[in-house]
Amino acid sequence: MGLPDQKWAKRLFDRTSQGLILLHLIMTLYYAIHSVPLMLAVNAVCALSCAFGLYKLRKGQIRFHILAVYLTELIHLAVSALCMGWSAGLQIPLIGLTAMIFLGEYLGRSMKLPFIPALPTAAVNFAVYVLVFLRFFHRPGLLDLPHDMVSPVEIVLSLLAFGLLVWGMLSVVQLTSVSVHSLANKAETDELTGLYNRAGYDRLLEELDLKTTTLLLVDTDKFKGINDRFGHDMGDRVLQKISRSLLGNFRQNDYVCRIGGDEFAVLMVNVGALEDDRVSEKIRFINRELAATAADDLPAVSVSVGVAHGASAENWAELFKRADSVLYRVKQDGGRGCRVYSAS
């Protein structure tokens, strides 16, 4: 499945806040019907507070929103437990806290903001709920509630809380895992081109088999001149075009990386020396694509490529050095070409 992004998390925050506002309004109406003015007022204030937090969220003030909803639900938790007792008074605040905690952790991770670890906090919420549900901590509150409302309130809120807390616990595990994976991908992805960056390249070296891997070092010819003449924005578009061409001309199981400003690397798996001519033809085709300017109105550009096979290399550093040495010879010969390393 696709990884959630920040917009996804913000939308889910938005929907959760709307749900909390609706719950508080329903409870406001319920307490009005049963003439419990204190809890009516508490839920009305909570609905307004969550609405204000939602307004701040839509203005981009995410941290303010998280803090407002946390404090609202914590206050509701304390007042409800004090006034109504440990049973009926805990469910809605626990729902709100659990939902905001796991969403807060995801958004905190994705935006590198401070966050409350969701899994242990949600586990505590769940444990408190189970103990309350089993009436280990059951006691009456300070309010003398009408007898006909206590039982329906407890049943409805218990069922709602149980379902949502279980959903919250499962979501915590999923989103924590997804957010860590998402951050790892982000740390290894070049923002301009979407290719693996140097960190991603280094990780691939740890995972791939040296002896069955062929390394292509790709250097953009006279790229500084493009930046100087056309500007850095045009230079970025040229790099993106090179990236697309590399991705389009190598196999899906090959790895294309941007390891420097205008330097790329391609890690081809299970390619032997017998396929050198095919690799060279790929580079010639890529250079023809990069020379074409009519379709995208970009300046013509070319690449120089050095190729080395891992079968005879002792380590990755030696393989890189070999590919770099033949790349240097291509550049000396004027660029726009490909050369394969040979020990002989």
169/203 same-domain check:
no
264/235 same-domain check:
yes
Element (H, E) at 219: strand 213-220
For residue 117, the SS3 value is coil
In this predicted structure, the answer to whether residue 170 has a pLDDT above a threshold of 90 is no
Dist CA 26 CA 37 (whole Å): 14
231/183 same-domain check:
no
For residue 96, the SS3 value is helix
Residue range 122-169, pLDDT digits in tens: 666 666 666 655 554 455 666 665 555 555 655 565 566 556 556 655
In this predicted structure, the answer to whether residue 102 has a pLDDT above a threshold of 70 is no
- Mean predicted lDDT score pLDDT of the chain: 78
Q: How confident is the model at residue 326 (pLDDT cuts 50, 70, 90)?
A: very high
pLDDT > 70 in the chain, percent: 64
Give me the pLDDT at residue 110, please: 53
Dist CA 125 CA 111 (whole Å): 25
Dist CA 45 CA 79 (whole Å): 12
Final residue before a domain boundary, out of 132, 156, 187: 187
CATH assignment of the domain containing 259: 3.30.70.270
What value does the mean pLDDT take over residues 263-279? 88
176/202 same-domain check:
no
Q: Which domain holds residue 244?
A: 198-340
Phi–psi pair at 308, nearest 5 degrees: -145, 140
Close Cβ partners of 167 (under 8 Å, ≥ 6 residues apart): none
The DSSP secondary structure of 265-278, one letter per residue, reads EEEEES--GGGHHH
222/119 same-domain check:
no
What value does the mean pLDDT take over residues 209-226? 94
Q: Which residue has the higher pLDDT, 167 or 201?
A: 201
Dist CA 106 CA 112 (whole Å): 10
For residue 113, the SS3 value is coil
Number of structural domains (the chain) is 2
Final residue before a domain boundary, out of 163, 187, 211: 187
> What is the chain's alpha carbon radius of gyration, rounded to the nearest angstrom?
30
Residue 192 falls inside a structural domain: no
In this predicted structure, the answer to whether residue 115 has a pLDDT above a threshold of 60 is no
Helix axes 6-33, 37-58, angle to 10 degrees: 160
Residue range 26-83, pLDDT digits in tens: 888 888 887 888 888 988 998 998 898 888 878 777 667 777 776 777 777 777 767 7
227/327 same-domain check:
yes
